[in-house]
């Protein structure tokens, strides 16, 4: 499992994390490969500025020195960084919307989040890019950075991520679900392989002020192959 470097200079590095890779190590499993560990092997000291879920793909930013880390962390905290995701969600939500619901860790399911009145302020904006019979493709901007924010907020309005085993209804998506009786296994296949089997969420764009040069940096990670596969195969079935 490899990462792809999108931007790098002497102060910071931005990479594309593949789905399935941790941002930082698991304290209970020191043998697990994680992104920070791979970068540390190459650069020595590396500073985590923010994180994305293990099964989310896309852009993530690291600092190479303490001062850049301090400045970027403050910018993330004060919502100066623009963070836009691509998300495939269940059903067809309104064409655009805002979700302003406070979040806190669930007392019933540790490690998950829930909407609560006295939680931390959490604000999400979305707009629908494309609609299909089973799902919609959204561009989602988060103005805060709470754990699982998009996942919880979209589930709260009745449109959870299309693939999300915790807050949604499935952990994979099969081509046979849209092809039905027309689906046939390949000649050398014994069982069907999912079109997608990870969170249907991708960190698509980052826009931030460089901690040293003060230049505004705008980065983009294109739609992943598995997103394209789900969308393209669905389009074929609609015609």
For the annotated catalytic residues, the residue numbers are: 53
Contact between residue 143 and residue 126 where contact means Cβ atoms under 8 Å apart: no
H/E stretch holding 12: strand 12-17
First to last CA, the chain: 36
Contact between residue 156 and residue 99 where contact means Cβ atoms under 8 Å apart: yes
Tell me how far apart the alpha carbons of residues 170 and 157 are, in angstroms, rounded to a whole number.
Answer: 17
Tell me how far apart the alpha carbons of residues 70 and 74 are, in angstroms, rounded to a whole number.
Answer: 6
Q: What Rg do the C-alpha atoms of the chain give, in angstroms?
A: 19
Q: What are phi and psi of 40, to 5 degrees?
A: -65, -35
Residues 6+ apart with CB under 8 A from 7: 13, 14, 217, 219
């Amino acid at each position: 499992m490899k990462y792809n470097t999108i931007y790098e200079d002497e102060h910071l590095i931005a990479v594309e994390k593949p789905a399935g890779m941790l941002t930082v190590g698991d304290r209970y499993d020191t043998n697990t490969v994680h992104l920070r560990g791979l970068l540390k092997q190459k650069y020595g000291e590396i500073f985590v500025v923010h994180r994305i879920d293990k099964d989310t793909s896309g852009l993530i930013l690291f600092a190479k020195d303490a001062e850049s880390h301090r400045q970027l962390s403050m910018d993330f905290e004060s919502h100066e960084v623009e963070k836009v995701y691509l998300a495939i969600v269940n059903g067809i939500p309104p064409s655009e919307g805002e979700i302003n619901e406070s979040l806190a860790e669930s007392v019933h399911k540790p490690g998950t989040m829930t909407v609560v009145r006295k939680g931390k302020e959490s604000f999400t904006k979305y707009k629908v890019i494309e609609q299909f019979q089973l799902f919609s493709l959204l561009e989602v901007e988060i103005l805060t950075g709470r754990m699982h924010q998009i996942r919880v907020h979209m589930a709260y309005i009745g449109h959870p991520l299309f693939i999300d085993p915790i807050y949604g209804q499935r952990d994979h998506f099969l081509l046979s679900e849209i092809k039905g009786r027309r689906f046939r296994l390949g000649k050398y296949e014994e069982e069907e392989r999912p079109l997608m089997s990870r969170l249907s969420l991708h960190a698509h764009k980052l826009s931030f002020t460089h901690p040293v040069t003060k230049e505004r940096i705008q980065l983009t990670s294109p739609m992943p192959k598995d997103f394209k596969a789900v969308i393209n195969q669905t389009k074929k079935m609609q015609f």
